[in-house]
Structures are given as structure tokens and as C-alpha cells.
A and B are shown apart, each in its own frame.
Chain A
Amino acid sequence: MDYRENDDETAFRLRVREWLGKNAPKDWRAHTKTEADHGALLRRWQRTLFEGGFVGLSWPVEYGGHGLTATYEAILNDELGRADTPRISFHAYLGRAIFTYGTEEQKRRFLPPMLNGDIQWCQGFSEPGAGSDLAGLRTHAELKGDRWVINGQKLWTSGAQHADWCVALVRTDKDAAKHKGISCLLTSAKAPGITIRPIKISDGAPETCEMFFDDVEVPADQMIGRPGEGWRIAMTVLAFERGPADVGLIATFQTALRRIEGIAAERGLMNDPESRKAIARIYVIGEALRLNVMEQLSQRVAGKPPGPDGSVARLLLTRAEQAIRSLELEISGAAAFTDADDTSFTSYLRSRTISIFGGTSEIQKNILANQVLGMPR
């Protein structure tokens, strides 16, 4: 065990920091009022990052990456978090489906434009009847000649309204057992037969969508993995989505904590024993998260894919984010109502969804109980 960075890593950190000083978007929250603004900003920012040489650090060179270790990815994320930049992350988990299960041809076709931001993706997993019970999904695809024809409905497909492509889980074998009849198709999000309806959520943005598939044709070579392998692929994607071996979150957390300390000082609450205790508690929760993330990171560096214990990180992250946003709201007092664009309330509401998307906290606990602690189902 060694908690220190080596010289190369430190040099890289300094280089990132300097680059971000010049290139990180400033005041971007104030300039992104709508979901469309946000989509456009992410596209631009990903392009800038890519051109700076900072996307896909740990991905192989032949697919547009840089072939570095996960440590570099972590350093980058840490600096991104500190600089409070917009977060681009979907390649980190959706890309895993293609990277781990795709054919050579699929990888060469889809990964480079995923990294450089030319193609934006959305995640078509959940459905009206399939939330926690993802394997209960009913959207189905039938092979007709050299095409799969998809019919059904996806729900909560975030960013679908701006996406170019979608990773969709579909049922291809109605007779097979629930988890075995699922496959993974890549489809253009603009294919004929797809209708997208944005859904407004209570933090104000129509950030998620409903996607209807009506005889949508997908060439057979756009299936990832074999028919029936969809569940395994989904679990890989979700493990990467959940396990936040992403140090950027820690930096973001620490920035938020400093912000709260500032508000508390301004409001004369730094001498209030109750507030001091509350802030100290948040600091400690943040430290627990930081250590877990470091531990997860070292597993990634050692080449181990995330497993069920990623749910520990996810639960710690959820706890930290929700506790700090709740404290921010309380410390802000009446200012919470009046700050520009409801910043603290919006952050609070967003933090509430962390225990839902990518698998609810209850599902994470079920995973830990069954798969890590070995308890009976």
C-alpha cells in the first residue's frame, strides 16, 4: 500500500491543472438554463477535452484512448472536480458494453467517436414495468433477415432528446428464462419508428425521456455480444456506473464543503455548536467516501473489474452527497429560496435521485447482502 503519487503522476497533475486553468469553461452553470444548453455544452466540452488529450486516458490507443493506467484517469478526474467543470461520463460506463463485449469491428466503429464526443449516447435500459427488476423488461426484438425489429417502450432514458445513439436492452427470446432472453442492441436514437418524449422532473429540467419503439429496424451487426448475453452486459455497465472509482466526486464534494463553510461563516454559524457538529459530520462522511474510492481505484489499477462491492462505494457516495446537500439547504436558511436559480435546492433535489438511478439504494443493499455477505435470498 502506498498513498503517494510518483513523479510522472505529479507532473501529469500539474499539466492538467495548467491546461484546465486555460480551458475549463467558466460560469457554465449560469449559462446553461435549459437541458438543450446543457447538452450542447457537454458536447463542446468533451470535444475540447478530447483535443487537449484528456479523454479515454486508460482506453487503448487503437480506439482513440491513451493507454495509461487508471491512476491517470483518477488524477484527471480529481482535477476536473476541483476545477468544477461539467461532468462527462457516459463513455466510462456505456462504453464498457462495447469495449468488453464488442467485436473488433464494432470497437473501431463506435469507440473513437464516443470518446471524441462526435456521437452522444443514451442508456435504454429501464421500462415502465422494469425499474429495479430490470430483467422484467418487455421491449422485444425479432430477427427478420439481417435486421432486428424492435417494438416496445423505454422509460427514464436520460438525454435521449439530444442523443445520437442508444444502448438498448431488448428481449430476443420470450421462451428463455427471464435473465437469459435479453440481448443488447446499439440503435441510432434517430432511427425511423423511434419517438422521444421528454419528461419534466421536479428539479425543473426535462432531463429524462420516454422512448417509444415502433418497428425500429437495426442491422444485425449492431448487436453487442451474442443473443441472450444482454443481462451480463447490463451488469458490467451498471457496475461501472455504480462503482465511483471516480476521484472527481471527492473533489466536487470537497468544493461543496468549502462552499458550505463559507455560507456558515457569512451567516455567523461557525460559532454555533450545532452547525459546527453538522459540518464536522459531513467532513467525516466525505473521508469515509474518499478512502473507499481510493481502495476501489487501486483495484482498477490492479486490473480488477468492479464487482458487487462497488455497491459499498455507491452507498457511501449517496450518503455523502445527500447529507451535504441537505446541510447546504439548512445552512443557507432563507437564502435557499432566493439564490439564483435555486442552486442549493436544485442540488438537493438532484442528490435525492442518486439513490434511485443506476440501481436504487435498496437494490445495492440486496446485492451486498446476497453477493458479498452471502446471505440467502
Chain B
Amino acid sequence: MDMQLNELQQQISDACGKILERRAGPGRARALRAAGDFDRLLLTEMAEAGFLDLFGEPEAGPLVAALITQWGAQAAALAPIGIRGLVAPSVIHGDLPEVIAIAEQGAMGAVRYGAEADMLIVLDGDEARVARRGEFKAETIKSKFGYPIARITEAKGEALAPGAGAIARRWWRVAIAAEISGSARGAVDLTIRYMGDRVQFDRPIATYQALQHRIVECHVSTDAATWATREAAFRGAPVELAATAAIIASEAAHRVFFETHQLTGAMGFTTEYDLHLYTMRLQTLRLEMQGLRAHARDLIDARWSAAS
């Protein structure tokens, strides 16, 4: 076992970090949100550098695709990196467009990046189909959830191989967990800095142990989500590990939202301050795929259904 980045992974991390530093970040996320836009430029640049097509690369594989998703989210990147890099290639072979969205049949009322997508993957039980531009219709919904969200009103498309729905669902969970762990890390890091700077009663609030413990709990939850995501990706997203990662991550999302906002006081609720750029997304991700309840149900079915 080796939990450190190997040489190749380190190189990818450095190169990807440079792109994210230049292209992503909370300032850019804020500007894009204000304009009702998302980061196509970033996706293009990452695609050109090859960072969105590592899933099938023997040396990199899904683990690195998951790492990139985490890093992107941590940098507040406003682009569906995980769906493109981690979910789509698990069921579609060959060239992929840059912007891909995913939805569950029967829950198409709110789909992240639905209106921006060049391609939509629709899961229907264990099956799935893929609709290209023109084969589905989407209406943007104005929302406070931190991502562009759309209602899909119609989606035709072509069936994928039998069982593709079940496969994509597992990777979707890993992608959610990866985005949560990255966004949560962004929120926690920001809050740690804020606590060091914010002085009340003549001392930085970071010096209060009662508060230190709370941010530490956030750190622990985020760390757990990070590692659960990585293992699930590394092992090919078996149902149990994918669901476990999504559960740990959803719980972390809940905690991190709650605590980072509490620790930041009134400032955390303003749109001028960066925190909401990470935290509103945590709420979306926590509710996606019907949330914790559905993740838990799949875990129970996979692990204990034989016992009952």
C-alpha cells in the first residue's frame, strides 16, 4: 500500500494546479455565477492538456480522474469536471464532448449543467441512454444552489450497453464524493484563514479551543471523504465503496456547511465573501441522486440484502 502520490501523479498535480491557479479560483467563480455562466474555457484547457481523458489511461486511471475532480472543486472550478472525467468514460467509449451532464429518469427537474451540456446521460434503473445536443431540451432554473441548474423537459437518445446505468450510477457517486471533498476542503481552508485573522475580545477567534475543535471536526470529516473517494476510484467504484464514499461525503457536506458558516459569523452569509462559492455547492451535491437516503439504501442492498 502506498497512499502518497507517485511521480506521474505528482507531475499531473503540478500541471493541473497551474491551470487551476490561472483559470479557476473563487473570484472567477463569482464572476461566472453573476453572469449566469460556467467555465467552458477551463474545461477546454483541461481537455487540451489531456486531464479529462485519464480514466482509461493505464498509468493514471480513475484514481487520477478523481483527484483532478477534487482539486478542481477545491479551486472552486465552475465546470462539470467529474461527470466528464470520471462518469462518462465509464460507460461511453471513444471521443467525448467537453460538457456532459447526467440525470436520473424520473428526477429530471433539476440537473446540474443541464442547459450547458453538449451531451446528457440519462440513467433509467440499470440501463442508460445518451442524448446529444438537439436530442434533449433543457430550461435554465434560477437558483441559489451555486451551480447552473436546468430542468430537462425532453430527452431522447440512444441506449448504451446493457447495465450501463448501474455502472454510471456508481461512478456518479464517486464524482459527487470527489466534488464534495474538494469543495469542503476549500471551505475549511478559507475558514481556518478567517479564524486566524478575525479578532474578537482582543484575540483571534482561532485561539478559542471550543472553535478549534469544531473546525478540526470539519477537517476530519473532509479528510475521511477525501480518502474514501480515492479508494473507491482506485478500486473501480464497486457499489459498496462508491456508496460509502458518497455517504461519508454527504455527512461531511452537512457538517462543513453548518460549521464554516457558524465560525465565519455574519460575514459568511454575504455574497461579497467567498465562503458561499464553496458551501452552496455542498448543498446541491448533498441532495443530488436523492441524497444520503439513496446512497445508504444501495449500500445496504449491496452488503446486507443476502442476510435479510
Contact = CB atoms under 8 A, between A and B. Distances in A.
Do A and B pair up? The answer is yes
Contact of A345 (B199, B202, B211, B283): B283
A201 B109 contact: no
Contact of A136 (B201, B210, B262): B201
Q: Is the interface of B mostly helix, strand, loop or mixed?
A: helix
A356 B145 contact: no
| Best-buried of A131, A333, A352, A355 by chain B (most CB within 10 Å) | A333
A337 B290 CA distance: 12
Contacts, number: 97
Contacts of A126: 266
A214 interface: no
Given A199-B272, A345-B283, A362 B210 contact: yes
Given A330-B287, A342-B143, A202 B270 contact: yes
Interface string A329-365: 1100111111000100110110011011100111000
Interface string A312-340: 00000000001000100110011111100
Contact of B266 (A326, A356, A361): A356
Contacts of A204: 144
A129 B146 CA distance: 29
Contacts of B151: 338
Contact of B276 (A155, A202, A275, A362): A202
Nearest to B276: A202
A356 B291 contact: no
B270 A199 contact: yes
A203 B292 CA distance: 24
Instruction: Give the size category of A's interface with B.
Output: 35 or more
Nearest to B141: A338
B200 interface: yes
A207 B211 CA distance: 27
B58 interface: no
Interface string B147-159: 0010100000000
Interface string B263-292: 001100111100010001001100100111
Given A132-B200, A201-B270, 8 more contacts: A131-B265, A136-B200, A200-B272, A201-B269, A333-B290, A335-B109, A356-B266, A361-B262
11 contacts: A132-B200, A136-B200, A202-B144, A202-B270, A275-B293, A334-B287, A337-B145, A337-B284, A338-B141, A353-B269, A356-B262
Interface of B: 107, 109-110, 141, 143-145, 149, 151, 199-202, 210-211, 254, 258, 261-262, 265-266, 269-272, 276, 280, 283-284, 287, 290-293, 296
